[in-house]
A and B are shown apart, each in its own frame.
Chain A
């Protein structure tokens, strides 16, 4: 039975799912079909964070330019998906048992590429969601539809996986930021040139 979360809600994904290790994070959205502003390019990323809320090396930032974390625990499936997992625009695979001990949180983000030059923001993006499903069975564990609580932002944290008393839990964040990917990187301690 998938759980539908609302903003700010937290739920354990490992409790009641003994042996669950491989999950897929699916993220999706619709963009408007206008001529104005040209085409949209939305990018997902995962930030592997320590207790301080920061990454410890730049490799903890998994995105289109660094698709696999050295531990093998987080794998970004890239921009082009071939219909596996209906409705997801991008996917990130997680192997919970391989996540290094010092990582206590993984944040999943969506940013609009070249938002400023193309005059784009999340106001032109609809029906955003993030969902978590069991990679082996395909069973959906939870889903969070983001609604319309942010609009003029160009970057957003859709949700977080975090460790709590030995369990992995999911937090439906749904917060937007202005300043695109650079702002998120700064927030999470990733050095960008």
Chain B
């Protein structure tokens, strides 16, 4: 039988639940896909890591769930009646490792088979999805007998979101209530093993060593500032916005802008589980660029940046890009840290104020950074601006970018962010 998204029913109507069932997941597309099966307790939580089956742990302790991979197909062989009583649900998921979204897949199918016979099938296409990077394709769960649910829904925040959904709640509370243990001293291998501690499993140093060794010298100064501010376990998306209006030309030419990208990237590697900087250029108009990561960061400022400058127009219009970013993160469940680099000449004070007030109910923090010495207009007055739900913006001058030490740099960039994090948690603006 072909299932519709959302369909639920008793499994016993379609097969013998006492015998082995195969859950076969297929996907086509350009990205790197990982398949997992989470064995969850009655609260829907992954209380026992041994019941997460994926490429790195191909079966459960009793072999009740076994994983096999063949190209873009994964097959989970399951014995429901052999599962321990505490495992009440099996969730079959697909996550995208690295770049890509579920909307770009050709197809994604989940079929249930017994004795080589398919008895249920869910056939999905890219159009069934949006910007998900983690999807719960199917659930098999116990509720007056075993049932299935063709969930086919997911999260924009990848495996990290999924892990939080299946057990990260304790992590969230710890993060907000108690001072964070400095995680730096723990060996990163140990941290990598513990799946439940969400995004911070591999240390920043380890990640940069592997992915962007040229940036390793930034780890120490950043870590000191993070530790001071209790931000070591903070999870957030990081966005970088670069002014590419005419007056910035000199800074593009002498490499300052590329330097800014280099120094910003570790923030994304630290805060965001996909380690990517969401990235915008703006002049008279604005353009969202491919995200910056450890692989491509050195070409974030293209060699022909002049061409980009011309195509985006010579003046600076903050309003358009702010609006575009607000739109992008309207539905974000994670906090977002936006670094907004400009050299001033900010003129549309009224419109910017109005937008920031409107944006103050979203979990987005705006860190404006001035690199041009003067005329920052409304940006300088952000701290005292009234009428906002939370104080969602800060301004700092980095006119001395070339001279300032890395630690001082991160200190300025992170100055008000922790306070805002605290406030949005208190106001319940994030999970």
Contact = CB atoms under 8 A, between A and B. Distances in A.
A147 B143 CA distance: 9
B266 interface: no
Contact of B130 (A35, A148, A152): A35
B153 A34 contact: yes
Interface residues of A, number: 17
A35 B154 contact: yes
B7 interface: yes
B129 A36 contact: yes
A123 B6 contact: yes
Contacts of B154: 34-36
Given A32-B153, A38-B331, A148 B147 contact: yes
A121 interface: yes
Max count, chain B CB within 10 A of own CB: residue among A35, A119, A121: A35
B150 A123 contact: yes
A147 B9 CA distance: 11
B153 A152 contact: no
B69 interface: no
B132 A35 contact: yes
Contact of A123 (B8, B132, B156): B8
Contacts of B155: 34-36
B149 interface: yes
Chain B contact patch, size range = 20 to 34
Contacts of A124: 6, 151, 153
A152 B135 contact: no
B143 A119 contact: no
Interface string A29-45: 00011111110000000
Nearest to A121: B6
B130 A36 contact: yes
Given A33-B165, A36-B132, A148 B150 contact: no
B333 interface: yes
B383 interface: no
A151 interface: yes
A144 interface: no
B128 interface: yes
B357 interface: no
B9 A151 contact: yes
Contacts of B9: 151
Contacts of A152: 4-7
B330 to A, nearest CB: 10
A122 interface: yes
Nearest to A37: B153
B6 A122 contact: yes
A7 B281 CA distance: 58
Max count, chain B CB within 10 A of own CB: residue among A34, A38, A151, A152: A34
Nearest to B161: A35
Nearest to B3: A152
Given A36-B154, A123-B8, A151 B149 contact: yes
A36 B135 contact: yes
Contacts of A123: 4-8, 149-151
A151 B8 contact: yes
B329 to A, nearest CB: 12
Given A34-B153, A123-B7, A124-B6, 4 more contacts: A36-B135, A38-B331, A121-B4, A123-B150
30 contacts: A33-B333, A33-B431, A34-B136, A34-B153, A34-B154, A34-B155, A35-B130, A35-B154, A35-B156, A35-B161, A36-B132, A36-B135, A36-B155, A37-B153, A38-B331, A119-B128, A121-B5, A121-B6, A123-B5, A123-B6, A123-B7, A123-B150, A123-B151, A124-B6, A124-B151, A147-B143, A148-B8, A151-B7, A151-B8, A152-B4
